[in-house]
Amino acid sequence: MNSQVLLIGGGLLQLPVLEQARILGVDVVCIDGNLRAPARDRVAQFLHCDIKDKDACLAAVKEFAPRGKIEGVLTVGTDFSTTVSWIAEHLNLPGTPYANVLNARNKGLMRQCFRDHGVSSPHFLVVQHEVDESFVPAWGFPAVVKPADNMGARGVRLVSHRQELPSAIREALLFSATGTALVEEYIPGPEFSVDAILHDGKVIRCGLADRTIAFAPHFVELGHTFPSTAADEVQESIWLELEKAVRALGLRNGAAKGDVKYDPRRGAVIGEVAHRLSGGFMSGWTYPLTSGRSSIRWALETCLGRPLSPQPQETFLPVAERAWIGFPGLRKSTADEAAGRQSEGVQDVFLLAQAGQNTVVPRNNVEKLGNLIAIGDTRAHAESAARQGLNRSPWLYQKSHGETDLFLKGEGGHPWAFEKARGRTIGSHVSSIRSQAQDQQWGDWYGNTFEEVLEVLDDRQVALKSRSDRFWRALLVGGISGALYAEDSQW
């Protein structure tokens, strides 16, 4: 009989576990509260249970246990490593003690561990209620406000003035199951995602990627890129600080996913560490592409208490993951999905929004419309391939929609695709707009220049002559999708 591993979560980001389990000859028992979970029909056994409820999950596993022996438990890309450790501890399986994992789940406890053990991290304050506008944190502004116990940048906001702090705390508390939020020092500098396997206390490095963050005052990851452009000494300092953070939290067996900033004045500063491999398509897709290795395979072997199997010599293929960005309205369809998938260098496409779904300009990482992964001979080539794939599959919206009309008029305070065009006199003469765009280096949220967007529209046979200023504003506010909406609505 094959060994059996319990997988917490059966969503898209957990599917790579199934392939690695097959390679290792391990049967997967999956537990998820979603009866339509993508993994349901692909696993040896599916248990229906809310993975937020650790006690209910443990009871479900105990009820199942007589019919099969669970030898390990893990998760990838979910925020429920506490459920993993709770089950592992009660079934005497390999793992990290629940109390230690809780340190990595609750950001207030995490920050305190870092402070106690000299790990470089932001100054912070734990709050459980709103503050008035007179309150100023000891380190001043800007500051970051976030829930103590959520993921995906939900409820996270940059605060530049004290008048903004009460509403930011109020929003963060709404996203916290424990009714707790953090006010933190803002750390400048580039941000990185790092993944590591923890095997009997040893940290095995499994990928360091550059993150692209946008849409301030929110923190939305537009994508990540391998290999990092950071200098070798910067990368080494990031890894060393992550290892200190792992030790401070008491994490020993499983995985660690870190969000790390690099401030030239202070060096590597730990934002967060989760006791799992990353979501966001890094551990399951981009890291295997860039390195030729699988961190998920090692995570499976670790949770089963096995030694780590040999893997190929690490490679450094340039890989870029990027997200589709939406705006207020009702999604109709994705134009030319096949063209995006067949675009040069594109390896995978994940469309997350459904037809008829309301969409917004994202304020967190779960409000993006989809993701695309591309490779190239160079990093710049991979990023260009990802951008071209996004361009060839623009999102289409139901026409004559009030919220979309308002957004594309530039009203409502939302970010613009071409943010540098905000406040400019647009006019209806394309030559004048081109001149402004070139002089001021306008770029949209995908990294396209104004000229590149015009080329995409020309390829789609969108007539650009004799257009009104409303059309050009729709293009500058909503990018390619905004122009196609204006074309469909005959602005």
Residue 164's Cβ-side half-sphere holds a number of Cα atoms within 13 Å equal to: 15
pLDDT at residue 68 in the model: 62
pLDDT per residue over 423-432, tens digit each? 888 877 788 8
pLDDT at residue 135 in the model: 87
CA-based R_g, the chain, Å: 23
pLDDT at residue 418 in the model: 97
Antiparallel, parallel or unpaired: β 3-8 and 70-74:
parallel
pLDDT per residue over 348-374, tens digit each? 999 888 888 899 999 999 999 999 999
Q: Where exactly does CATH 3.30.470.20 map onto the chain? A: 191-309
d(CA 295, CA 157): 31
Given a cut of 80, is residue 440 above it in pLDDT? Answer: yes
Q: What percent of the chain has pLDDT over 70?
A: 98
Given a cut of 90, is residue 131 above it in pLDDT? Answer: no
Given a cut of 90, is residue 333 above it in pLDDT? Answer: no
Q: Which CATH number fits domain 191-309: 3.20.20.70, 3.40.50.150, 3.30.470.20, 1.20.1440.230?
A: 3.30.470.20
Average confidence (pLDDT) over 479-491? 87
Residue 434's Cβ-side half-sphere holds a number of Cα atoms within 13 Å equal to: 9
What does pTM read for this prediction?
A: 0.94
pLDDT at residue 476 in the model: 96
pLDDT per residue over 74-128, tens digit each? 999 998 999 999 999 999 999 999 999 999 999 999 999 999 999 999 999 999 9
d(CA 112, CA 257): 18
- What CATH architecture does domain 123-185 belong to? 2-Layer Sandwich (3.30)
Average confidence (pLDDT) over 190-219? 96
Given a cut of 80, is residue 337 above it in pLDDT? Answer: no
Q: Which of 47, 50, 41, 84 is nearest to 300 (CA)?
A: 84
Given a cut of 90, is residue 134 above it in pLDDT? Answer: no
d(CA 139, CA 120): 15
pLDDT per residue over 264-321, tens digit each? 999 999 999 999 999 889 999 999 999 999 999 999 999 999 999 999 999 999 999 9
Antiparallel, parallel or unpaired: β 329-334 and 267-274:
unpaired
Given a cut of 70, is residue 480 above it in pLDDT? Answer: yes
d(CA 375, CA 384): 9
pLDDT at residue 335 in the model: 62
pLDDT at residue 127 in the model: 93
Element (H, E) at 336: none
CB 2 within 8 A of CB 27: yes
Residue 102's Cβ-side half-sphere holds a number of Cα atoms within 13 Å equal to: 8
Return mean pLDDT, the chain.
94
Q: At what angle do helices 450-459 and 469-488 cross, to 10 degrees?
A: 40
The DSSP string of 222-254 is EEEEES--S-HHHHHHHHHHHHHHHHHHT--SE
- Residue with tokens 């999905």, as numbered in its chain: 337
**Strand blocks (E) in 358-475:** 358-359, 370-375, 395-397
Sequence-separated (6 or more) residues with CB below 8 Å from residue 310: none
Q: Where exactly does CATH 3.40.50.720 map onto the chain? A: 3-93
pLDDT per residue over 227-270, tens digit each? 999 999 999 999 999 999 999 999 999 999 999 999 999 999 99
- What CATH architecture does domain 3-93 belong to? 3-Layer(aba) Sandwich (3.40)
Q: Where exactly does CATH 3.30.1490.20 map onto the chain? A: 123-185
Decide: helix, strand or coil at residue 261. strand
d(CA 110, CA 359): 34
pLDDT at residue 130 in the model: 79
Average confidence (pLDDT) over 371-386? 97
